[in-house]
Amino acid sequence: MRPPAGACVVDTRTGRIGIVMGHEGPYVRLRPYGGGREWDAAPGAVHRATPAERLRAATAHADALGRGEVP
């Protein structure tokens, strides 16, 4: 799978949810939902996030904001 930039996907190797920033060589470049340090994932190891997975990421980010863990 080669998801387009801006798509919300799950890295199945780590379970992390990220936003596709682009493609770097054979890899998909991901940034965590809500921002942070990017990482690379193999195209075969990502799938589009379901609505429930996107909600989980948004809730985790909102909780972290509330605790003052992210700017």
pTM: 0.87
Within-domain flag for 19: yes
Q: Are 30 and 40 in contact (CB under 8 A)?
A: yes
In a domain, 2, yes or no: no
User: Tokens 């994932």 identify what position?
Assistant: 41
Is the pLDDT assigned to residue 71 strictly greater than 80?
A: no
**What's the CA gap between 42 and 7, in Å, rounded?**
15
Q: Does residue 48 belong to any structural domain of this protein?
A: yes
Quote the domain boundaries for residue 58.
Answer: 8-66
- pLDDT at residue 2 in the model: 84
Total structural domains within the chain: 1
pLDDT of 69: 87
Provide the CATH number for the domain around residue 47.
Answer: 2.30.30
DSSP 28: E
Average pLDDT of span 7-14:
96
| Rounded Cα gap, residues 19 and 40, in angstroms | 11
pLDDT (tens digit per residue) in 13-64: 999 999 999 999 999 999 998 888 999 999 999 999 999 999 999 999 999 9
